[in-house]
Amino acid sequence: MSERWARAALTAYRYAGAVAYPLVGPYVAWRASRGKEDRVRRRERYGVAGRARPEGPVIWIHAASVGETIAVVPLVESILDYGVNIVLTTGTVTSAHVADERLGSRIIHQYVPLDLKPAVSRFLDHWRPELAIIAESEIWPMTILELGARNVPQVLVNGRLSDRSFRSWKKRASVAEALFENLAHVVAQSDVDGERFRVLGARPVTISGNLKVDTNPPPVDERALATLQRQIGGRPTWAAISTHDGEEVVAAEVHATLHRRHPGLLTIVVPRHPDRADALAAQISGMGLKIARRSKGDRITPDTDILLGDTIGEMGLYLRLTEIAFVGRSLTSEGGQNPLEPAMLDTAVLAGRNVQNFREAYQRLLDRGGAKLVRDRDMLAGAVNFLLTNEVARHEMMAAGAATVDEMRGALARTLKSLEPYIQPLVVKARLKGANGR
């Protein structure tokens, strides 16, 4: 590793990503994630493999959390069709669960190693990947530099840079260039993201669109859906999904405002982090509202005000119980969450104004009439009230959202085209190895 690379690695820990990590950033990140990891498999975070390496070429694909994992599933499935081995790393128990549920034994799942040289080196020594594919905005300096030192091609797919992250990198342009020059290719989500990567020194950069558009709708247990639908009956419903701190109370306050206008109203609240459910249940119950918790198997009764969706992997269930969804991390937090899943399930989308991380998706939905942004709690209550009252307007909004998603599809094909020069040699190698082994 050159002196410039080493200096870049040390400095980049202070400025990498959307959060300004100190030099001990990987350790701090690990400390912060405790409770979200599988203790039995903790050694994987130090690069200690939990499985043997398979014969033949290996592609390492990394997706940090649930959203990124869901986004790369179709890409992983397409690459598996070529007959190449895939090691998929994620960072949380929830994303590991999603990987197992949707990909099973077709891939090897490992928890991503901490971005420290001993852990990364141990991981790379064991798996010896011949291509690394990184999803979205996972810029870990030591990992990038170690892969570069081993001449392993690195491709960033579905790449995006938030406003905050871009500003942070621009302040240390030389550090950014020293890292991004190690990327063999960046496949960005949008023109804005693509230009940002170019400014920071990435070459070449192509635009694919958002891989999340090319995913299937979130799955559902049909028996569970039928059970909840029977319990709800003909009651009006709306949902607040992927909510962050403060937004659950806002949803409860909206419910309290609207339930007299809409008798029998049921509000579905799905926190982004279900481990907050106990505190949320106590807080909302303290407002005089009756809660049914999905994790407890509580029955929805006629006097239930709030269904608290405190489970993992059931977004497809909750979205199929309503035609109106407020998407969180947009009112009391910043960045937004993915609006495409509710849109593809024929749901009218509402959100706060802080949706920078999904700017293009929201802009498309807004232009077509599939989404509406709200300023505050009162405006959210007004929007929910309007959609509950006006069936024609609600269904027009639902149809516009679904049509927008259809128009945005195609990112998977464009991403695969960009990856072809890196994957095809491995396909040939795998086939030759297979032929020689027979």
Same fold, 7-214+410-428 and 222-408: yes
Whole-number Å distance between alpha carbons of 348 and 398: 5
pLDDT the model gives residue 13: 47
Instruction: Tell me if 339 sits within 8 A of 404, measured CB to CB.
Output: no
Domain boundaries, the chain: 7-214+410-428, 222-408
Catalytic residue annotation:
68
pLDDT the model gives residue 29: 44
Whole-number Å distance between alpha carbons of 412 and 135: 13
pLDDT the model gives residue 437: 59
This prediction's pTM: 0.87
CATH of domain 7-214+410-428: 3.40.50.11720
pLDDT the model gives residue 431: 87
Whole-number Å distance between alpha carbons of 304 and 91: 36
* Total residues belonging to the chain: 438
- Backbone CA torsion sign across 349, 352, 358, 363: positive
pLDDT the model gives residue 36: 57
Cα 35 to Cα 38, 270, 275, 277, distances in angstroms: 8, 20, 9, 14
pLDDT the model gives residue 154: 98
Task: Find residue 170's DSSP bridge partners.
Answer: none
The residues near 273 (Cβ < 8 Å, ≥ 6 apart) are: 244
Residue ranges in the chain modelled with pLDDT below 50:
1-10, 12-35
Whole-number Å distance between alpha carbons of 384 and 237: 10
pLDDT the model gives residue 136: 92
Among candidate residues 416, 421, 432, the one with its CA nearest the CA of residue 157: 416
pLDDT the model gives residue 31: 39
222-408 is a CATH 3.40.50.300 domain: no
268: enclosing H helix or E strand: strand 266-271
Amino acid 195 reads: E
DSSP 167: H
